[in-house]
Structures are given as structure tokens and as C-alpha cells.
Amino acid sequence: MRLVEKLLIQGLIIIIILIVIQAWLDNVQAAFLDYLPPIGFAIFVAISYFVQPLIIGVTNIAIINNLHKTRGWQVGFWLNGIFLLLTFSTLNLILKMAFNLPFLPVIALIDLLLSFPFGCIARFSNGGWTKPIG
Amino acid sequence: MSKLASSLYQGLVRFTNKSLVKNVIVITLCAMFLFILIFYPYNYYSSAQRNQNSTFQVGIDYVYEQDNLSEIYGQVAQIYDLGFKVIRIDFQCDPLVYDALINQETDMLFSATSHYGLAVALVIPNGETVDDVNYYLDRWGGNLTYIQIMNEPETSSSWDVGALFTDDEITSTFNILYAAVESHHLSAQLYTNFGIGYVLRSNIPIDLSQKLNFVGLDIYMNSFLVLSPLFIQNLQEITHKNVVITEFGMSTTNSAAQTNYIISGLNLFKSMGLKGCWIVYWNSEYDNYGIRGTPTATAVGDWIAKNAK
């Protein structure tokens, strides 16, 4: 597989996961905030800024290790995940404000079209080792 | 040349591929994105005048009970002349003495607002009794355009430190006052205002807004003005209701700072496409919020003439 294809696949997978989680969080936000306040609020914040970055970070390094035949990681899961989440959120915020677009389906589609550059960013943001660790 | 560029690129890749360098770059970019997420909405709306053709209603909180009876009519005329469309007032009445001074003042206020065609927003405070509400609405309810049920309920039940309402207290008090207001079958729109603290108790605006026509947000201090686009958008998203800025002002003796703060806020809220912003206060005896007789009042009047339809 060529490098361009690997980056495209990596970006596509990460973007799809981010879109799905974002759409789900938007949909259930009110229900979380209304659930046994303030427990629901705490759970919502924990999912948004702890669980979600972990999922993204773990997925990213798993993809890198599989596609590039490496082992280990350079950047921690959470830090890598929050970086990709912040990149995604910043892009969406700018699209939303500058063009007054809704997240679903317009911004989500634009995000999908930007899979390749996002794959480059995701690949750059972490990496493994080609030789055995330790 | 291409060999030099290639070796420079390879060097850069090798350098950034070091774990330490990569971590530093990622952390730096995270901080940068965080700043963009926090400050971009304010910069976006305040950097250019957007929504120029939208209607925007500027109101003001008039503490008429601090003025003499003979002054009230003239003060309402001044407020009208400056271009304000809404007067927000506190709940003031004496149900026991029909001709009590405060009742005469309230009569005078409504007489003036009817004459000048100004909308009136009444604030029913958190601790008000149903009997008093019924008395007020029976006597003056027909003059009201907006009725505020409770004031920043998520914040506190009184001004005492730590005097927070529980969620149950808020809901039950709101329902009692709401039922009292609804029993009068008035045409007034209902709203409740929230402070920035609603973020930590978001269930309250979600629950209360189901019975309201719109929700209010109160903004004080420059820092919260800068963050206000985030709060406004969030409040709109969770309540699915329009947001009006129901309290906006600055207590300072520095008139230039007060003018700058209020005008920048008006520009921001209009640019965001909000329906209106109500300034606190016209007059204020015990602090420096009042804009009456200051250059701020003139500046706000000029702004309304140019920007508010």
C-alpha cells in the first residue's frame, strides 16, 4: 500500500470516529445534563474530555502500528487523542462560524473530504518504533 | 538546490520524529487550538458588523422606586427619547394600601410607558408570594409585555453567601409562580434569566425553558463578555429557545470604560443576531451601574439611532 493510501485510510477512520462520537454527544447532551444533576454533567465532561480522547489516541496509534509495521508509541494516548479532538473541534468551529453551517450533515461531509490532510496530521502526531522495544 | 532542500527536509523529519520534540509540538498545538476555541467566536463577531439587517431591541432596567413620583414620567420620556424599546422593572407594590406611594409610582410608570409605547418587562423575584403576584397582575398585568419568573435561580436564594437553591426548591418555586402568572391569561411573554453559573447547573435552564418563550442571560465583567458567544450558543443549544441578554452593565465611576464596555457588548450581541439586550441600570442609587446623566447614556442613544431598528 502506498503512503498516500495509508494516510487517507488513517484520516478516514479517525474522522469517522470523531464524527460519530460528536453526533452522539450532541444528541445526548441534554439527557446527560438532566440525569441526577450534577452527576450527569460530570459524566458528560468525563466522556467528552477523557474517554473520547483516549479512544481516539488508542485508535490512532493502533492504525499507525498496523499500517507502518511499528511498535510502541511516542506520544501518550490521551495527549494524542485530545490533540486530534482539538484539531477537529477547531476546524468545525471555524466552519460553523464563518459559513454558518450545521454540524450534520454539512460540516461532517466537509470533514470527510478532509480525511487525507487529517490523516497526515494524525500520522505526524504520533509514531512507533521499527526496532523491538527494550 | 533540490539536494539541499531534500537534506533539510530529511533533517526536519528526523528532528520532529524524536519523541520529546513531538510531545512538545503536540502540547504547543493543543494550547494554540484551545486559545482559538476560546477566543475565536468573540473575535469573529466583534471584528465585523454582521446581521446588520436583523431587528435588535435595546432595553434598560429602570429602578423607578428610587425616584420621586413627580420624576417618573419625565424619566420614562428621557428613556424613550434615547431610543430604548423596553423598560425592565422590579416587582414593587403594596397590596394592603391601594393608594400607597409605591402603588402610585407604579401607576405613574405604566401611564408613561403606555403613552410612549414602551414594552415593560416585570421581574418577579425568587421569594415573591402568590398573593402579591396575583395582586400585581390583577392591577397592572395588562401593561406587561414580558414577565420574568425568578431571577438567576441557579445562583442563590438570597444574597447570603452559600444560600444556594436546591434543584427541587427551584423547580417547585418556579412552578408555583408560573401557575400564578398563567392563571391571569396575559399576553405577556415569559422568560427566566440565568447567570454564567448556569453552566454548572445546566439542567435548570433545560427544565425551566420548556414553559418559557425565551431565556435570558446576564453578563457582567469583560472576561464574561469575551466568553459570552460560547455561553449564548450553548444556552440556545440546550434550551432550543432564543436568548436575550437581560442584564448587561458595568459598575464603575469611569464613564469611558463603561461606555466602551456597553457599546462593545451591543455590537457583539447585534452581530450575533440576538433579539435584544437590556442594560442595567438607568438609575442606581447604591452603586455605579446607572447610566442616567452620563456620557454613556448619550453614547448608547447614538448607537441605538444608528444600529437598532
Task: Residue A41: list chain B partners with CB under 8 A.
Answer: 200, 202-203
Q: Is B234 exposed, middle or buried (0-12, 13-18, 19+ CB in 10 A)?
A: middle
Task: Residue B19: list chain A partners with CB under 8 A.
Answer: 74-75
Q: pLDDT value at position B72? A: 96
pLDDT 10s digits, B107-158:
999 999 999 999 999 999 988 999 999 999 999 999 999 999 999 998 865 6
Helix B130-140, helix B167-182: angle, nearest 10: 30
Position B90: which residue type?
A: D
Per-residue pLDDT tens, chain B, 309 aa: give them: 678 888 888 888 788 778 888 999 999 999 999 999 999 999 999 987 777 778 899 999 999 999 999 999 999 999 999 999 999 999 999 999 999 999 999 999 999 999 999 999 999 998 899 999 999 999 999 999 999 999 999 886 565 655 678 888 899 999 999 999 999 999 999 999 999 988 888 899 999 999 999 999 999 999 999 999 999 999 999 999 999 999 999 999 999 999 999 999 999 999 999 999 999 999 988 899 999 999 999 999 999 999 886
pLDDT 10s digits, B85-111:
999 999 999 999 999 999 999 999 999
Candidates B43, B169, B200, B202: best to mutate against A (most CBs of A within 10 A) is: B202
Q: pLDDT value at position B309? A: 66
Task: Residue A37: list chain B partners with CB under 8 A.
Answer: 167, 201-203
Task: Decide if A26 contacts B240 (C-beta within 8 A).
Answer: no
CB atoms under 10 Å from CB of B185, counted, come to 8
Q: Which residue in chain A has the smallest CA separation from B204?
A: A34
| Distance of residue A35 Cα from the nearest chain B Cα, in angstroms | 8
Per-residue pLDDT tens, chain A, 134 aa: give them: 889 999 999 999 999 999 999 999 999 998 998 888 889 989 999 999 999 999 999 999 999 999 998 888 899 999 999 999 999 999 999 999 888 899 989 999 999 999 999 999 999 999 888 766 55
| Distance of residue A125 Cα from the nearest chain B Cα, in angstroms | 7
CATH architecture of B56-307: Alpha-Beta Barrel (3.20)
Task: Decide if A25 contacts A40 (C-beta within 8 A).
Answer: no
Domain range list for chain A: 3-125
Write down the residue that cell numbers 422568560 correspond to: B191
Q: Enter the ipTM.
A: 0.92
Write down the residue that cell numbers 398573593 correspond to: B131
Domain range list for chain B: 2-44, 56-307
pTM: 0.88
| Distance of residue B8 Cα from the nearest chain A Cα, in angstroms | 17
C-alpha of B281 from chain center: 12
